[in-house]
Structure 1
Amino acid sequence: MFGTGLTYYLYEKFYVEKQKEILILQGEELQKFYDKAANKTEFKKRVQWTDDSSDAKVIFTEDPMLLSAGIPYNELAENNLITFDERQRLLAGKKVIFIREHPRFHQDILAVTIPLLEKKQLVGALFLYMPLADINEPFKSIRNVLAVSLVLLLSLVVWAGLKMTNRLIKPLKEMETISRKMSQGDFSKRIEVLQTDEVGNLAASFNTLASSLEEVDQKRREFLQNVSHELRTPLSYMKGYTEAILDGVAGDREAARRYVSIIHNETERMQRLVHDLLDLAQLEDDSYPMKDEPLPFAQLISEVAERFELSARQKEIQLVQNLDDEIIVNGDSDRLEQVVSNLLDNAIRYTPEGKPIRITLTKEGTFAVLMIQDSGPGISKKDLPKVVERFYRVDRARSRKEGGTGLGLAIVFQIIKKHNGELNIESEEGSSTTVIVKLPLFE
């Protein structure tokens, strides 16, 4: 818009200046011819020729009254070509140039007055002028073009401004609406990302945040449902058998003792559940401290396996160990004992009577690799990726009967993760299951 206005201003200014120069040049040429002309008749013919052949109107006068009265108060007389002050300048031999509405011609004109002197006396004057309407005529078409261009430019600016504002405000309004829904617990809404600028990046980050919150909320709901489900069964057993004892339904002391034993077992299971939940909550906290010390890993595994010898013999299970005694790892001994203990507990629980469990410890590059292979029923491909999730059980009824909380592998996963290791489980339904733990070697 500024450029359009500037173009119009400069074009008009230069065009008017050019016309002014032409008038001055024509006047000066006539002034020179006046000095060389043989007589007044020849000069008047030249003036007439200039008037006819150019766009300017030329008036030659030797009448002082036409130039201006000799007194100031008559300077605006209608027939005067110039004012009193301008006449004084002519008397001094100076040109007079002006642009104004002239009372004699009843229109705006551009005029140049050239003094004609003889012996330094003013004897006449050349009055050259052009109506401003004629000067402005070439501007009519460009004025229209500029006006249309200006309207189009303004429309374009307004359209671009609205579009840009909409690009900025629409995602922000969506964020405001969605954040209000999020504060009410609805994390399912997302912002449509259509741009790659800062606002688009902000919208994408907002969607990532919403997805994370939705996932956290989903896990929280699942956690509460699972905890409620896990506690409901033992609590219902305890309530039922307690009421039976109080109501005398138990009958003899042996039946009452059996009921109390069931209540005791359920209490222990609830205690293990609460302990595992607190343990898992600590391990999932990034700030939870973990010891880092060199450990003879084979010795640690042997000591844990020794504690499970009794439960293994009760099912006639043989723990077959093949351990590299030279392997040293960095880690927290208590937590790594918990890893081996949970894995052996699972292996013994799911291995049928009389079947072996193989425990192997080897080196693989810069890692120590612990493999525990049971002889159990295996895990389906559908269930395999989920076994490290909290409360996930392949066979819920059987696992609960055998006393598991469904948190053992989740705890193992978190401990291995904090040791910068890897946990992998290989299994097929109807076959054995192999748990592979990789831990960095001591350097």
Structure 2
Amino acid sequence: MKKGGLKQRIWMSFILLMSLTVIATFVLTYFLYEKFYVEKQISLLQHHGQAVATQYDQFSEAELIDQIAWLDTVLEANVIYTKDPMLLSGGLPFEIEIEETLITFEERQVLLEGETLILIREHPRFAQDIVAVVIPIQGNNGLEAALFLYMPLAAVYEPFESIRFILIGLVMLTLIFISVITRKITGFFIHPIEKMMEVTNQMADGDFSKRANINRKDELGQLATSINRMSYSLEQVESKRREFLSNVSHELRTPISYMKGYTEALEEEMISQEKYIDTMKKETAYIGRLVHDLLDLAQLEGDSYPITKVPLPFAQLIEDVVEKFEWHAKEKKINIQKNLDEEIIVEGDEDRLVQVISNVLNNAIRYSREHGLINVVLSTINDEAVLVITDEGEGIPEEDVEKITERFYRVNKGRTRSEGGTGLGLAIVQQLVKLHDGRLMIDSEVGKGTAVSIAIPLFDFE
């Protein structure tokens, strides 16, 4: 157990609390039991003394003496009977003279008033503590006699000697039992926390592969599940970060290598200056597009990307984008056919939707064969504006369709690189569509072409 750790502190706190509770319970039990036992003895002395006192007139002197002797034997107590109560306050009813008295003058006055005395004090003759009951016996002329019943306190407490040791033994056994149980309970709750601390410490050190294997249904189990889920998410983020850095390094390494190679070739007069300048323009343009796309994607995946939604005539927006790309399509002898629902209104950011349509249409033209056909269809389906752009290119293998929107993912890297693509276009499109609460769907068949569908909620006029 780690010294000063949470587990030790909780365990010690439990032990201290339970120990104090158990000890207090046993002490209180002992005290009350002892108190009630002494009171019971006093009550017993008082009861028998009163019984004799009430029958005082019914006994002869000899019978009264016999009754008192019997009472002395039965009660295992000492009974003093005197017809001269002054002896109780002036000295002892014994032949041996002693200065101390059994009762004080004030207590004798209480007897004169007919009230019973209950005393716990040291016996003046035997030098031991006693518990005593003094019963006044009233006659026609007032106080005629008194019964002094007493017994040593040692005799009263004697039954508790064995009980005291039993209680001490029970306290020790109980504390040992509590210590063992508390340790197990503490371990039951602290052990999962220690596992989770181990995982979080490793996460802080950059290792997201560890998991807290805690199979529980309570709050600690739920917390462990949340930490595992967070660890898994961070692991995925770290994996994507490394992949991203690797991809960026690769993407930048290629144009930089070209630029370096062509510079060396120019220095050695292996290529013409015109070819060198043309190559530099292409590579710097590619790097510019890559940096621009990376900045866009970084903003899209954060919270800083500006977007302002307003009602837009979607068909007109699509018409404007298609018009910009018609010259590029004509270069490849590609025909673009449009079938647009002019009444469709969506709520979106005009510049961002132009970027979405441009990226998708640019890909469709880039990967279409010469003399191919591109269909651009806009319709309404289930309260959504659905734009479908279909080309007749080579298509995408089925295993690549789900990955095509990942950053830098390419089906044919060589071909894409030669045509200037950055591998980020569809990743940007997907993020922009999400910002518009829409959906991006891609269907493709190798040898027949690809259909990209963009579904955006219609503008609510209410």
Task: Give the alignment partner of residue 43 of structure 2, picking from 21, 32, 35.
Answer: 21
CA distance in 1, matches of 2:372, 2:329: 10
Aligned to 1:365: 382
Are the structure 2 counterparts of residues 306 and 96 from structure 1 closer, same or farther at C-alpha, using a change threshold of 3 Å? same
CA distance in 1, matches of 2:296, 2:458: 26
Map 1:34-73 onto structure 2 (within 5 A): 34-37=56-59, 39-61=60-82, 67=88, 69-70=90-91
Aligned partners of 1:90 and 1:122 also within 8 Å: no
Which residue identity does 1:40 align to in structure 2?
Answer: E
Task: Give the alignment partner of residue 408 of structure 1, picking from 425, 433, 437.
Answer: 425
- Measured against aligned partners, the alpha-carbon deviations of 1:81-105 in whole angstroms (never above 9, x if no partner) come to 8254587357635433223454655
CA distance in 2, matches of 1:357, 1:403: 21
Map 1:63-142 onto structure 2 (within 5 A): 67=88, 69-70=90-91, 77=98, 82-85=102-105, 88-89=108-109, 92=112, 93-102=114-123, 104=125, 108-116=129-137, 124-136=145-157, 139=160
Aligned to 1:334: 351
Aligned partners of 1:91 and 1:121 also within 8 Å: no
Which residue identity does 1:17 align to in structure 2?
Answer: E
Aligned to 1:350: 367
Task: Give the alignment partner of residue 335 of structure 2, picking from 314, 318, 323.
Answer: 318
Which residue identity does 1:48 align to in structure 2?
Answer: A
CA distance in 1, matches of 2:404, 2:456: 20
Comparing 155-164 and 280-289, the one that deviates more = 155-164
Matched, 1:150 2:171: yes
Q: Structure 1 residue 338: deviation in Å? A: 1.2
Matched, 1:258 2:275: yes
> What's the secondary structure of 1:47's corresponding residue?
helix
Q: Structure 1 residue 405: deviation in Å? A: 0.5
Aligned partners of 2:91 and 2:97 also within 8 Å: no
Matched, 1:237 2:258: yes
Map 1:148-187 onto structure 2 (within 5 A): 148-155=169-176, 157-159=178-180, 162=183, 178-187=199-208
Aligned partners of 2:346 and 2:459 also within 8 Å: yes
Give the number of equivalent residue pairs.
434
Which residue identity does 1:361 align to in structure 2?
Answer: L
Are the structure 2 counterparts of residues 285 and 82 from structure 1 closer, same or farther at C-alpha, using a change threshold of 3 Å? same
Aligned partners of 1:423 and 1:435 also within 8 Å: yes
Task: Give the alignment partner of residue 270 of structure 1, picking from 272, 284, 287.
Answer: 287
Aligned partners of 1:379 and 1:429 also within 8 Å: yes
- Measured against aligned partners, the alpha-carbon deviations of 1:325-374 in whole angstroms (never above 9, x if no partner) come to 22121112221111111111212222333432222211012110011222
Comparing 231-240 and 195-204, the one that deviates more = 195-204
CA distance in 1, matches of 2:326, 2:436: 27
Q: CA RMSD in A?
A: 3.5
Q: Structure 1 residue 15: deviation in Å? A: 2.8
Map 1:294-313 onto structure 2 (within 5 A): 294-313=311-330
Q: Unaligned 5+ residue runs, structure 1?
A: none
Are the structure 2 counterparts of residues 65 and 179 from structure 1 closer, same or farther at C-alpha, using a change threshold of 3 Å? same
CA distance in 2, matches of 1:430, 1:141: 101
**% identical equivalent positions:** 50
Aligned to 1:9: 31
Comparing 397-406 and 20-29, the one that deviates more = 397-406
Q: TM-score, normalised by structure 1?
A: 0.83
Which residue identity does 1:41 align to in structure 2?
Answer: A
- Measured against aligned partners, the alpha-carbon deviations of 1:22-72 in whole angstroms (never above 9, x if no partner) come to 2111111111222321x210111112232334454434345879746449x
Task: Give the alignment partner of residue 239 of structure 2, picking from 218, 241, 255.
Answer: 218
Are the structure 2 counterparts of residues 60 and 370 from structure 1 closer, same or farther at C-alpha, using a change threshold of 3 Å? same
> What's the secondary structure of 2:452's corresponding residue?
strand
CA distance in 2, matches of 1:15, 1:91: 26
Aligned to 2:450: 433
Q: TM-score, normalised by structure 2?
A: 0.80
Aligned partners of 2:311 and 2:348 also within 8 Å: yes
CA distance in 2, matches of 1:90, 1:437: 109
CA distance in 2, matches of 1:385, 1:393: 12
Task: Give the alignment partner of residue 308 of structure 2, picking from 286, 291, 315.
Answer: 291
Comparing 399-408 and 136-145, the one that deviates more = 136-145
